[in-house]
Structure 1
């Protein structure tokens, strides 16, 4: 095979999940909707800071929007395992469009108050608790072959971060030109794309499984399965630490943009865009991988990179340097998060997928509000610089126990691959990914 043919093959392999019609529809529909979502997120944070000048309230809004995922996540997983995931997603997207529409009206009529923002953020948080858990479990229904699930997850991450690159940049321009209301309006309209993609899917008829266990028993079984198996517990713990200590950086961005770098909404858009470029690069890096060989080492490195990037950013007062730091932080964050998602999706049993992925969502979305509130409160006393530096340091420290236990986790993973009949190359990849000590000749 020539270098040109090899390059073409690698490029085709990078997008192999798009061969499936349902996934392709979802990919492009969700991609359009996510641009609107990022526009709303940036516009909302700018609106809150403009109205209140309070770092604490920036954290409070994030807390209201994400704490429902922590409280309702396990119940959302039970719902995803018991009911039609396709219909659940249509309902959650429609309700999200309603939330964005109400926000649009309030802002464009200049009647918006901070309590409106808090209430609507909490409403969206309740919707997202069910949407995220269901969407994570729904991936397996859109991709027929298990070996392509990891590619689908990587492409999901690339789609998310492409939107993260475009959305904040456009939002920064629109906020400066016409105000935040237009961003909320565009987000409301963008939900039509993902709803249309869901309605156009061709899925196998849903067969409801009669559940003899009650909801509480299902919850208990899901917790016991996830936290009783060390590899799953370790992956969820990494996501929780990254979310608790790392995600608050986005909450503090308006403060850095306006008060540290002396910029405006455009500067905020540039910072989030730089983080998006790094994250998109990380997602494409994962998408081109044919197996998950070496992901364990990669995760340790990228978690450390993320933490170091936040520490460096926290003390930067030059825009160019801040953008570079955001680039590396975005790369480290998404590779770590998507790698954990890939490994979980590969090893979890299908009948418990919704519950386990709801715990993943609970760790990802549910821990962030506590981190945001904590970071917002601490920043009021010691300043945003030292607060973000501490967050970066804690992210780096949190990956150390995982690094030291990779060998033991590898031994525990072996039996589950044999029982689930996962393809040999995937099993080999995950075994290799869960060790830092395997000699080179064995890899």
Structure 2
């Protein structure tokens, strides 16, 4: 079956895509600045951990409410509001950082405000892709949205490092403030008449309990959400694992570490583009991407030297980008359009929300054994998830009832 044209042919999606690249790049300026300044001012890793806690705790608290809001209200307006709120919060951070001495409680408070805004933004942005591109291009649009994140990751850290060295932390934070204003401008220019409604019959979306019952009855979708959480906890803590592999196992320096992350990001862009070429993304595509990502982890774990590890880094990124594009695409393709907000909230809670738990577990595993072992465990987790998806796919193909809200078996297995 011939795939539909790229979502980038749609003017509204091009605006959103461009804004996402700029905004995600700006976020790297903020992340690097806060990490360096908090460590320099306090000398305590625990203070940096508090920044992370304040950043992600709001998502755990309001994630499902954000999904409900995205299903019931104008998503474009939600994104406009979160972009402007984020710009104000980051501008406040720039002011606090410019004062001497640094007031850590103010930093943590503003990071929490920013985290709350981003909790609504993460969920709404994923649900908005359907409205921008429609159901026929959904898999392509979702995959390209992950490419925007990977593209920012490939250039953001390097640009942020140069800017921090040349102009300081306040300038970096102001760059991120401007990036939120850019995405707000892109959203304001979107043609609302060209958006696709997620409520074709005009009926109000079901309440939270009814929505969760419908999602729970959709076995293919539940399988995707479960895999998302398992892989996040067991195999997606690459910041910890790659840093430990380069620094502790292979004896590389900061330049090698930066190169590894950059090569990984370049591979992730290619992986996302590969998934974007598919018309539909379902359990089969996700299973293949899980297996591929597991193989990439195993290859990188076996690298005996820095040189070979760097050569294998793009392969790891390729597997990562394909997996992230597939898991997001499968979840949105399998979900009823009217419940996309709630589904993307569960997806975000299973990835971003559980990432700190996974980081702690993987960090303890590295300390007890090595980064190679941690990567090997991640490869095993991916293999088990691929097998589980095959079993679910077979049960769907055999006609086993999958409950209310489930899609046809051929769509689940795409």
With normalisation by structure 1, the TM-score equals: 0.78
Q: Whole-Å Cα distance in 2 between the matches of residues 176 and 312 of structure 1?
A: 35
Deviations 1:378-427 (A, max 9, x none): 5566565655554444344343322333211335699999x99x9xxxx7
- Which of 262, 286, 295 is the equivalent residue of 1:273? 262
Say if 2:250 is the partner of 1:250.
no
Deviations 1:209-240 (A, max 9, x none): 78697xxxx22112111122110100111111
Say if 2:72 is the partner of 1:98.
no
Shift in Å at residue 112 of structure 1? 3.8
Q: Whole-Å Cα distance in 2 between the matches of residues 258 and 114 of structure 1?
A: 29
Deviations 1:108-150 (A, max 9, x none): 446446655544443332222211111111112212x421111
Q: Which residue of 2 aligns with 1:65?
A: 55
Q: Which residue of 2 aligns with 1:408?
A: 395
RMSD: 3.7
- Which of 331, 338, 345 is the equivalent residue of 2:318? 331
Deviations 1:236-267 (A, max 9, x none): 11111122223322245556666664433x54
8 Å contact kept, 2:393–2:413: no
Where do residues 19-418 of structure 1 align in structure 2 (5 Å cutoff)? 19-47=9-37, 61-109=51-99, 111-112=101-102, 118-143=108-133, 145-204=134-193, 218-251=207-240, 261-264=251-254, 266-289=255-278, 291-292=279-280, 296-310=283-297, 313=300, 318-376=305-363, 379=366, 386-387=373-374, 389-411=376-398
Shift in Å at residue 56 of structure 1? 6.4
Q: Whole-Å Cα distance in 1 between the matches of residues 151 and 260 of structure 2?
A: 14
Shift in Å at residue 168 of structure 1? 1.7
Shift in Å at residue 37 of structure 1? 1.6
8 Å contact kept, 1:56–1:377: no
Contiguous gaps of at least 5 residues in structure 2: none
Shift in Å at residue 199 of structure 1? 0.7
Q: Whole-Å Cα distance in 1 between the matches of residues 28 and 382 of structure 2?
A: 24
Shift in Å at residue 59 of structure 1? 5.5
Deviations 1:261-300 (A, max 9, x none): 4433x544423221211110011112223x237x644433
Structure 1 stretch 221-230 or stretch 386-395: which is displaced more? 386-395
Contiguous gaps of at least 5 residues in structure 1: 1-8, 434-443
Shift in Å at residue 195 of structure 1? 0.3
Q: Secondary structure at the match of 1:147?
A: coil
Q: Secondary structure at the match of 2:13?
A: helix
Deviations 1:289-339 (A, max 9, x none): 3x237x644433432343444455467574433333432222222212221
8 Å contact kept, 1:282–1:334: yes
Structure 1 stretch 121-130 or stretch 303-312: which is displaced more? 303-312
Q: Which residue of 2 aligns with 1:430?
A: 411
Q: Whole-Å Cα distance in 1 between the matches of residues 244 and 104 of structure 2?
A: 18
Q: Whole-Å Cα distance in 2 between the matches of residues 184 and 134 of structure 1?
A: 24
Q: CA 1:207–1:176 in 2, change beyond 3 Å: closer, same or farther?
A: closer
Q: Secondary structure at the match of 2:190?
A: coil
8 Å contact kept, 1:59–1:372: no
Q: CA 1:361–1:338 in 2, change beyond 3 Å: closer, same or farther?
A: same
With normalisation by structure 2, the TM-score equals: 0.83
Q: Whole-Å Cα distance in 1 between the matches of residues 41 and 293 of structure 2?
A: 31
Q: Whole-Å Cα distance in 2 between the matches of residues 93 and 165 of structure 1?
A: 23
Q: Whole-Å Cα distance in 1 between the matches of residues 46 and 377 of structure 2?
A: 17
8 Å contact kept, 1:55–1:379: no
Q: CA 1:101–1:239 in 2, change beyond 3 Å: closer, same or farther?
A: same
